[in-house]
A and B are shown apart, each in its own frame.
Chain A
Amino acid sequence: MEEVASLMQGFSIALTPYNLALMFIGIVLGVIIGVLPGLGGANGVAILLPLTFTMPPTSAIIMLSCIYWGALFGGAITSILFNIPGEPWSVATTFDGHPMARKGQADEALTAAFTSSFVGAFVAVVVITFLAPIIARFALKFGPAEFFSVFFLTFASFVGMGRGSPWKTVAAMALGFALAAVGMDGVTGQLRMTFGYDQLLNGFDFLIAVIGLFGIGEILSSMEDGLKFQGSQAKLRLRVVLTTWKKLLAYWSTSIRSCIIGCWMGITPGGATPASFMSYGLAKRISPRGNNFGKGEIEGVVAPETAAHAAGTSALLPMLTLGIPGSPTAAVLLGGLLIWGLQPGPLLFVEQKEFVWGLIASMYLGNIVGLIVVLTCVPFFAAILRVPFSIIAPVILVICAIGAYTVNNNMFDVWMMLVFGVVGYVFNKLQYPLAPLVLAIVLGDKAEESFRQSMLLSQGSLNIFWANPLVASIMTLGLLMLLWPLASSLRARFGASRSATA
């Protein structure tokens, strides 16, 4: 086993006191960066990049990738406590994580989220260690048609999710797609729906929408109830980690499924965001408690977190071997490689063995260190909810405003955040589902772009989506997902009538 030997050597590089200290600093900084929505992972890594220029490249990437892990862990904290996801892949975590916090189970939700992210990331690292060469080639098979099929599959596995009026689900999703289309069209370079306003050039960033719809909307709803915030019942129990772990064991099948979805989506560069939504959608359909999803079901935290982190971690490999970053944070890390004098690409594994295996070893160690750090802080994070609402509400609003501003350094976005806040409040009361709306804002423009690129390649023939076994099987899977709700309702009716006659 050549891999094992290389990995051991990697550990010997990563396990110096200097590198371990950098790991710890990286994780702590990362958690801080992840908690403040104004400092997303990309921002944080970019800001700290210059500091690493005087370090050896291996140490530098260890610290920066630990900031990345830390930020991933940290993103779950605001999603669960305040309903404000800082990154697109933590959006699905809010669906059940925040209701859990409102029920006073913030510590359980946090433990579940942290543990699941660790499991996902760890499985992905093992996959990377042993399958690296095969994986790297797989990503090359992904052209525009394959990307579209993945987005299609994501939307398909999410359809039929909402309770209540199907018309409202459709309207919410369509509104999301429409908002995603504002700004410059990537294919023709034309401006769409900007009506001459420079502020609209950028379109609506998903973060603005999400901070408004979820974060501000939540504050408005809480105000309506009169300054009450039920999370304040959160108890401070360190033992909760152990009891939650015991509960999590029951969801082993969800964990395995989410790991598979995540690794697959990370390796094929589908990305962490579709992975988290897809995994959540599937878990809701398969779980016997699926009807409770959205009301604070721990399985609804496990599924997206596991998948997102499995995907995020396994996506680092195509990044290193192909030079295509899967996220803005990865893009900044890639730029860092160049500055340290490394050339990301297929030869990195041949020419810079020490660096690559040092990095892989640091993924193992960084995640373990990260898990320990965040788990010990669970009671502290949960305690934030004990701060009276009259103090926490204005502070959250300030954080939201900073977060919205820093997306594009633009005041207009802060105004839009308030507008989205009112929309979120009203939609919530009229039972328009917010999840499809956000999903469409996050993935809508990407789905449209890959569809139109495919159409360009095939000169308008839809056959491109069935042109090879890979894309055909993903599309078929997507169609099955679309038909599933229909089939299951038919089966339910059929099954009922048969049992009635029997």
Chain B
Amino acid sequence: MHFRRTMLRRGLAGAVLASAALLTGAALPAQAWEPTKQVTFIIPAGTGGGADQMARFIQGVVGKHNLMKQPVVVINKAGGAGAEGFLEVKKSKGDAHQIIITLSNLFTTPLATGVPFNWKDMTPVAMLALDQFILWVNSDTPYKTAKDYIEAVKAGDDKKFKMGGTGSKQEDQIITVALEGVTGGRKFTYVPFAGGGAVAVQLVGKHVDSTVNNPIEAVAQWRAGSLRPLCIFDDKRSTYTTKVTGAMAWSDIPTCKESGVNVDYQMLRGIFMPAGVTKDQVAFYVDLFKKVRETPDWKEFMEKGAFNNTFMAGDEYAKWVEAAEKRHYELMKSAGFLAAGK
């Protein structure tokens, strides 16, 4: 029973870590605030997506390592590209028992639909990680590098190449439009699908020519030899050097910049809470997520999805969010995705 042993070991390690956390917790001065009832964790996306997986994973880690006395309850509020979830947090001013995980729709949804909310209606807690994007093609195609592929797009007819992506006027389409900046005026036909997993399968089935899936959405197909990563939309390569397939590790994927495609984009996986909460309340959650990030489970999760494991909190985080909002505004403005009046 191979599994049972590894799971046992993992469980043991967890128990040791949890008790260590308890000990250090006891050594510190008493916390100023902690939740007095269950904490609602809102996901502004549907079940099964990247944000959903991460939130439920965090819920599991918190439970497994006893990081909080009160339970975490996860709720999906996906309506209107996540607007429903954000509006709920906006409405719950001063409620310290509510947190929300964000993806790029924090910026794109209000800009594209005009639904009235903004990150400033909430209190930034912490950045957990940045999710990467990779340009993928089917491994039966002759394109070995991003350059090969872009050259083929340039040489082909306009709209001949089909790009599959998740959602409309969101991150995948923004990247697609940014890519069109280097294709010599040739445009992609962007086809939106409901979820990242479905997008990867559409590429395996050759219904589309390329995708910009997150690593975790396409890694299984990559390992099976059906998909080929061309470049990663980041200014430096991934830091994970463990072999994922027989020959390659995440760090072996060149950046798009290296391949002459000057596009970079990452997606925020961060935590916010309602406005009007006290400093102590924010501090509790910052501390909680620090503890989550120290667990071995989290580290394994980060590696599996090739996440950029950056942590930020406080002013640094708020500044980052502000810059990201500006960047999304510029990107969406040049793509013509802004709702009327924005």
Contact = CB atoms under 8 A, between A and B. Distances in A.
B269 to A, nearest CB: 15
Given A189-B112, A191-B113, A338-B304, A201 B83 contact: yes
B224 A56 contact: no
A88 interface: no
Interface string B213-257: 000110111011010000000000000000000000000000000
A191 B47 contact: no
Contacts of A324: 195, 197-198, 201
A334 interface: yes
B41 to A, nearest CB: 12
A203 B79 CA distance: 8
Given A202-B79, A331-B52, A338-B304, 16 more contacts: A49-B56, A54-B64, A56-B4, A140-B201, A184-B113, A186-B168, A186-B192, A198-B87, A324-B195, A332-B56, A338-B57, A339-B301, A409-B75, A456-B189, A457-B162, A459-B189
B115 A198 contact: yes
Interface stretch (B177-185, B202-210, B281-289): B202-210
B164 to A, nearest CB: 9
A345 B220 contact: yes
Interface string A17-31: 000000000000000
Interface residues of B, number: 65
Contact of A346 (B6, B112, B224, B301): B224
Contact of B7 (A57, A322, A456): A57
A388 interface: no
A343 B79 contact: no
Main secondary structure of the interface of A (DSSP, over half): helix
Contacts of A53: 60, 63-64
13 contacts: A50-B63, A57-B7, A143-B207, A198-B87, A323-B201, A323-B217, A325-B197, A331-B52, A332-B56, A335-B56, A343-B220, A345-B219, A457-B162
Contacts of B223: 343, 345-347
A120 interface: no
Nearest to A141: B205
A364 B60 CA distance: 29
User: Which one of A322, A330, A354 has the greatest number of beta carbons of chain B within 10 Å?
Assistant: A322
Contact of B201 (A189, A191, A322): A322
A435 B112 CA distance: 36
B318 interface: no
B224 A332 contact: no
Given A49-B60, A53-B60, A335-B52, A184 B79 contact: yes
B109 to A, nearest CB: 9
Interface string A135-175: 00001111110000000000000000000000000000000
Given A189-B113, A202-B79, A322-B201, A408 B4 contact: no
Contacts of B226: 346
B308 interface: no
B165 to A, nearest CB: 11
Contacts of A346: 220-221, 223-224, 226
Nearest to A340: B7
Nearest to B222: A345
B204 to A, nearest CB: 6
Nearest to B64: A53
Contact of A142 (B2, B169, B205, B217): B205
Contacts of A355: 3
B48 A328 contact: yes
Nearest to B204: A140
B84 interface: yes
A501 interface: no
A453 interface: yes
A55 interface: yes
A51 B113 CA distance: 39
B167 A347 contact: no
B168 A323 contact: no
Interface in A387-430: 408-410
A453 B192 contact: yes
Contact of B3 (A58, A185, A188, A325): A58
Contacts of B201: 139-140, 322-324
10 tightest Cβ-Cβ pairs between the two chains A and B? A345-B220, A331-B48, A202-B79, A201-B80, A143-B207, A189-B168, A346-B224, A140-B205, A189-B169, A50-B60
Of residues B1, B47, B78, which shows the largest number of chain A Cβ atoms within 10 Å of its Cβ?
A: B47
A344 B220 contact: yes
Contact of B48 (A183, A188, A334, A340): A334
A201 B204 contact: no
A453 B193 contact: yes
Contacts of A348: 220
Given A187-B192, A335-B53, A198 B84 contact: yes
A240 interface: no
Interface string B140-172: 000000000000000000010010000111100
A188 B168 contact: yes
B197 A323 contact: yes
Contact of A343 (B113, B167, B219, B297): B219
Best-surrounded residue of B77, B207, B208, B304 (most CB of chain A within 10 A): B207
Nearest to B192: A187
A133 to B, nearest CB: 13
A33 B204 CA distance: 36
Contacts of B220: 323, 343-348
Contacts of A453: 191-193
A190 B192 contact: no
B314 interface: no
Interface in A336-393: 338-341, 343-348, 354-355
Contact of B80 (A139, A191, A335): A191
